[in-house]
Copies of this chain bind each other. A is one copy, B any other.
Amino acid sequence: MALLDENRLFPTDPALREFARNLYEGIRDLPIISPHGHTDPRWFAENEHFANPAELFVTPDHYVFRMLHSQGIPLEALGVPQADGSVTETDPRKIWQIFAENYYLFRGTPSRIWVDHALQEVFGITEHLSAKTADAIFDQIDANLKTDAFRPRALFERFNIEAISTTESAIDDLRWHKMIKNSGWAGNVITAYRPDSVIDPEFDNFAENVAIFGEMTGEDTSTWTGYLAAHRKRRADFKAHGATSSDHGHATARTEDLSPDIAATLLQKALQGTCTAEEADQFRAHMLTEMARMSLDDGLVMQIHPGSYRNHSASAFARFGRDKGFDIPTRTDYVHALKPLLDAVGRESNLTIILFTLDESSYARELAPLAGVYPALKLGPAWWFHDSAEGMRRYREMTTETAGFYNTVGFNDDTRAFCSIPARHDVARRVDCAFLATLVGTGRLTPEEAPDVAYDLSYRLAKEAYRL
């Protein structure tokens, strides 16, 4: 029995479906470009076996455990580690059983497609996951994971990944990337420069982070010029480990373009822990413009991922820490927020700034109009909660008419869940082919053009936008 419908996500109209399917067959086997994500480079450095099905599918996947929690299942029962080290469930089979019993909760969600895809295509499972099949499926996955064909590098190759970017903190020692590089393995695993911990005055241990940043670079990061020089050096280090991009996860899209004096004063206050909330926000906002200026020099593509209210539940945060499914999107303004940055560098044609959003109301109203005129701007794909069939369809419907296809940058999987990578790219390719088939079927694109666009959306645009 197949878990997956061969025609999934294609239009239901027979003529459109056939056209979409043909388009898809032309691009389904293109290599995967994964220019933004959160896989662990250690996997590829050490190439150890993944531990067990629960650690692969449940414990690290916030999409999965947040849904289970929403129905009253304690995070502890899913093995989510507690911040104080208190015991949580450690038996992977018990965790898997809960997942299987509650798998019906995922009906209609992208997690359902991703998990089914991984079960069928990666592990050869042919039964639907349920309380009844839980054990047998656990055993089958577990047995596979113990074989060499399921080690990280083997899966990487089997997934046909041409390039994948992880994301490291500006004060990461990049040891795993060094180890991959020195290993002689040909897999193209690169890093991306994520300086939030040394840019955000409200980040845990900001001053300490900036001091480490200074030590790592031999710069006096207690001065504004030394601090900027440290960024330049670390960006160069990251480039030496393959980085072609930086990534910025601010709460808002606010940017500023302050005078060096003011910026230097804010840095002093930030280091002394005397910033007001507004000053901290100004500093973060200004640093986006500084990062953009450095990008003009060193060519790193800049990614801005704003709009998540992180760790919304105080009790969940206190007990389980960051990234536990309690990050909630908020309304995000781009038009006013980006103006200082855009006035500084927005009309530079050698610069690429990729904007993401968690606020779909900004697609047609703000983001497509901005990316449709500023040479430096491109639109990132549908992100996070919107990385889904409906989310991608809305993205294309609300951005294409104003920004076209060529101010977008193909697909990002943005995931920690390694086995979901082929599934996620497959969803994106199918949804894009469905969209293109609809354009052709309604006379908005010629049948001759569609395969080119499908190729661009699946492969070329990501490669070119990220300079890979």
Q: Which residues of A contact B (CB under 8 A)?
A: 4-13, 15-16, 66-67, 69-72, 104-110, 112-113, 128, 309, 312-316, 325-326, 328-331, 333, 335-336, 339, 342-343, 346-347, 349, 358-361, 364-366, 368-375, 377, 385-386, 388-391, 397-398, 400-407, 438-439, 441-446, 449, 453
- Given the known interface contacts A9-B443, A12-B13, A330-B336, the answer about A109 and B438 at a Cβ–Cβ threshold of 8 Å is no
Q: Return A253 CB to nearest CB of chain B, in Å.
A: 13
Nearest chain-B residue to A62 (Cβ)?
Answer: B373
Contact at A389–B444, with CB atoms within 8 Å? yes
Contacts of A402 in B (CB 8 A): 109, 385, 388
Q: Bound complex: CA of A391 vs CA of B69, how far in Å? A: 28
Contact at B401–A442, with CB atoms within 8 Å? no
**Which of these, B6, B107, B330, B442, contacts A449 with CB under 8 Å?**
B107
Q: Bound complex: CA of A181 vs CA of B296, how far in Å? A: 56
- Given the known interface contacts A8-B444, A375-B72, A386-B364, the answer about A401 and B335 at a Cβ–Cβ threshold of 8 Å is no
Nearest chain-B residue to A324 (Cβ)?
Answer: B373
Contact at A108–B439, with CB atoms within 8 Å? yes
Q: Return A286 CB to nearest CB of chain B, in Å.
A: 17
Contact at B313–A374, with CB atoms within 8 Å? yes
Nearest chain-B residue to A8 (Cβ)?
Answer: B443
Contact at A313–B388, with CB atoms within 8 Å? no
Nearest chain-B residue to A316 (Cβ)?
Answer: B347
- Given the known interface contacts A109-B402, A347-B313, A405-B107, the answer about A8 and B442 at a Cβ–Cβ threshold of 8 Å is yes
- Given the known interface contacts A108-B445, A375-B69, A402-B109, the answer about A369 and B385 at a Cβ–Cβ threshold of 8 Å is yes
Can you list 14 A-B contacts with CB-CB less than 8 angstroms, sorted by A residue number? A7-B443, A8-B444, A69-B375, A72-B375, A313-B374, A328-B369, A329-B335, A330-B333, A330-B336, A364-B386, A365-B385, A388-B402, A390-B397, A390-B400
